[in-house]
Amino acid sequence: MTNIADVGRLAAELPEVTKGERHGHRTWSVHGKGFAWERPFSKADLKRFGEVAPPSGTILAVKVADLNEKEAVLAAGHAGFFTIAHFDGFPAVLIQLEKVDRAQLREAIVDGWLTCAPPQLAERYRAGSG
């Protein structure tokens, strides 16, 4: 079980991350590219859930490299990872923070950061953490 404070701490461990706000919600970026952001459900999202209760708690969206990676992440079946119709065709996954463990959250955040970081910065990070 994780929370938005864990997201902030994990993102802050990565090089050149800036924390900001977009549409009134926290977002984390590297070189101006958002790789993780709070993503509450809109009225349209809630309507699409119909009679099914939407995932509860804080929801985080995290970029992935492409739609194949998105499919792979979702196919892994880790608790807390999902998508919604609004994200169809968009390379990002949603994470229900109260359901995901810290190691999986860290992996998702690092992968999102690597997706958005300039190639040279990503290579330096990989060289230093691998």
Q: pLDDT at residue 130 above 80?
A: no
38 against 22, higher pLDDT: 38
**44: how many CB neighbours lie within 10 A of its CB?**
10
Provide the domain count of the chain: 1
For residue 110, the enclosing domain spans: 4-129
**The CATH number of the domain where 86 resides is what?**
3.90.1150.30
Q: Work out the average pLDDT over 106-118.
A: 98
Q: What is the CA radius of gyration of the chain?
A: 14
Using one digit for the tens of pLDDT, what is the confidence trace for 39-60? 999 999 999 999 999 999 999 9
pLDDT > 70 fraction of the chain, expressed in percent and rounded: 98
